[in-house]
Amino acid sequence: MPSRHLRILRRKDVTTTPGVVRTAQVLGRPFSVGDLVVPNRIVMAPLTRYFSPGGVPGDDVAQYYARRAAAEVGLIITEGTLVQHASSGTSERVPRFWGGEALAGWRNVVSAVHQAGGKIIPQLWHVGSTRTEGAGPISTAPPVGPSGLALDGVPHGIALSAADIDDVIGSFATAAAAAQDLGFDGLELHGAHGYLVDQFLWERTNRRTDAYGGDLASRVRFAAEVVEAVRAAVTPGFPIFFRLSQWKSGQFDARIAHTPTELEAILAPLADAGVDVFHASTRRYWLPEFEGSDLNLAGWAKKLTGKASVTVGSVGLDKEFAGPDGRPTKSAVADIAELLDRAERDEFDLVAVGRALIADPEWARKAFAGRLNDADPYDAALLESLY
């Protein structure tokens, strides 16, 4: 880890131009894609919180997001919300994106965020073979994936048939149409971290021999068809974000692309299918993705596709996310000088902030005011409540 990132923030680390805090100058610029216009470049990253009993987001969830929108977060990406497929989830406390009560809850969330002056998009999610047998929201549903394999390659659940694949694709399209009807400002497809869409992309979990498996072009077909169906279900100006990652839950050395050429073979079909923004999930935004270049994963996504990109990964904190089994209990506030350097070079377009925004709903406002030294540090104990 570069020592420049390890610096704990001190007041002297804040860099300004005459009359303007550097963060405000760099990340305070508006951004637009399709019909979505956001006032600045700070995004709330999707963060699963398990505070939606029965899959229904309540008023506490609405106020949780609205609180951050009111404090100058430009765009909210909701926690993962489950599409309507029996095997899509693994908890009854994760919000779902179907059914009258849940959709009414989401409409209330959208209204609260808009009233606070923010923009918001849902992250549409299917966990695939990471589903726990017997868990909610539908306890009898089996884990499913491209080949019936867990992330470690061990048999788990069942392989999706061609008809099952069509059903899952349809569930994403139905959710996309609902998102626009509810007044969301766009949507994000969760194609990262070893969940269903990502399982098709990764050779360890996709051992299929039909049109959805084999070489890289075949492994990307499912994701591209999801994007195509979603694009057809919404208006042309309704932006589609796509979250991708190399790493998987508990598999931090995993890679879906070993070279820029392989990454382009994955991203180009998705861009052609209708993705407007690539949200490149890394655990440390400052690390180069491939040898011979300082670009991170978001930088490569933008360079290879010409599409906008979002960077993420321990922004504003001194310890990276390490997953549920190795999650640091505490992280101190760290400077974002290198992040600003990269943003000034237009390496990426938006910056997603995760744990720092759990710790401090006012993080964005403090950043723009040059007061990150006053931001609250992260403590995993904060996950026990929703504020």
Catalytically annotated residues = 195
Report the 10 Å Cβ neighbour count for 123. Answer: 22
Q: Which two tokens stand for residue 35?
A: 């019909």
In angstroms, rounded to a whole number, what is the distance separating the alpha carbons of residues 25 and 290?
29
Q: Which two tokens stand for residue 232?
A: 């057809």
In angstroms, rounded to a whole number, what is the distance separating the alpha carbons of residues 23 and 45?
18
The maximal CA–CA distance of the chain, rounded, in angstroms, is 62
Burial of 9 (0-12, 13-18, 19+ CB in 10 A): buried
Contact 309, 302 (CB under 8 A): yes
In angstroms, rounded to a whole number, what is the distance separating the alpha carbons of residues 287 and 1?
8
In angstroms, rounded to a whole number, what is the distance separating the alpha carbons of residues 46 and 43?
9
270 closest CA partner among 311, 313, 225: 225
Contact 310, 241 (CB under 8 A): yes
Q: Which two tokens stand for residue 352?
A: 């997603």
Helical H runs in 188-329?
Answer: 196-201, 216-219, 221-233, 260-273, 297-305
Q: Which two tokens stand for residue 20?
A: 């303007």
In angstroms, rounded to a whole number, what is the distance separating the alpha carbons of residues 121 and 368?
23
Contact 145, 128 (CB under 8 A): yes
Residue 132, beta-bridge partner list: none
What is the pairing mode between strands 20-21 and 36-38? unpaired
**Spatial CB neighbours of 246, under 8 Å, sequence gap ≥ 6:** 254, 255, 256, 257, 282, 289, 297
